[in-house]
Structure 1
């Protein structure tokens, strides 16, 4: 059995387990381009219902001579019924050039104790479709909040011209000023056209920076060395100090969080789809 056949077998087991344990699939729950364009090609790791074409990172096709099946919604589909399309070299080159490098937006080492307690959602996708369907798919991405920044969701946005899009946008705003909650959104959108086919590269990160949550976590970290009454007193003093020195205490964390959201939209996409870029 070849290496790729083993990989397909492992993928089959994943799909089989997925049917029993109902793992969440962000593409399935939010957006599936195969439902709009039946010629959609997607990487094998993103393969979804109604898809019939695998987007390959190179010219090496998967072996379909053996009895290899994909299981979708519990039903076996023989690999011979699924087409395979290597990514066009022009797509690869343009994506590599257009998508920024993450280190331009890199931040200091993230405080995992704080970030894991903040609301952060991330969506990403890479797929190839028929060019005459690209406008419909872009609108569908916007309507389903796959893209969130106001600049990209405008009907007359300047980032998309003549069927192609080249955008990396970041926006921040206030969700609730009285509660100290701030929103941060970063959108990466690339649409490249070539020979009646268009490739979509999409990555979106949306997060909320909550000042009360950050303050509480900072005080808990500072006071964890104390016990009982001493810890309670430490928490009160810490909270009081933060209230009087709110800007200086949280400004650095908020600025680092800004860069974290931006770099995540790029770095995570480049990491997941590194074979295609």
Structure 2
């Protein structure tokens, strides 16, 4: 098992399943983010895949967001921008994929993980899958994932999550606001529902699904530039003493 994390892709019966893993709460270092983006693009380009499932491994957190080890090591703007561009690449890969993407959120998710859940075309979640945008507490802000989250939950709910950066919002809250499409009490039932929808979509018209995806994402055509601009904001803020001191205190708890 890799200490650096890993991304796996399998395609079976026209269903592509992408799984990400990192031993530290399925957090996402820069290299893993880029590999995840490339894997999403690869699955989208595969003639053998008609629908994509994104999930993470284990029974703990779905995604702990950015890697604190990597954040605290950033010493210059270019490195900071490059790190946050990893999240931009993942969200844009999900947006541009011609395949519908189902996201499986089995546990708590923070920051960038909330972005991935938001960028799903249909997102399943377990009832324990609380969400939090903790970036402001770090002295940054959910700038890169913001457009994806706001697109799903609306400006008011996005503002609430961003402002109250230490509060967990439960799965019921997330479902009511459209971040999650279905919430389950049992993981097995959730997986059955995901499999059923994936099998249904695998038999559907690829052209119709691709056109439907274009409709879903109407108005996001400028996200390549927008998310890069947002990565630059985060890349500057992560250099602050406030952020470095916060992460040090957090890691020393």
TM-score of the pair, normalised by structure 1: 0.21
Structure of larger gyration radius:
1
Judging by fraction of residues, say which structure has more strand. Answer: 1
Judging by fraction of residues, say which structure has more helix. Answer: 2
TM-score of the pair, normalised by structure 2: 0.23
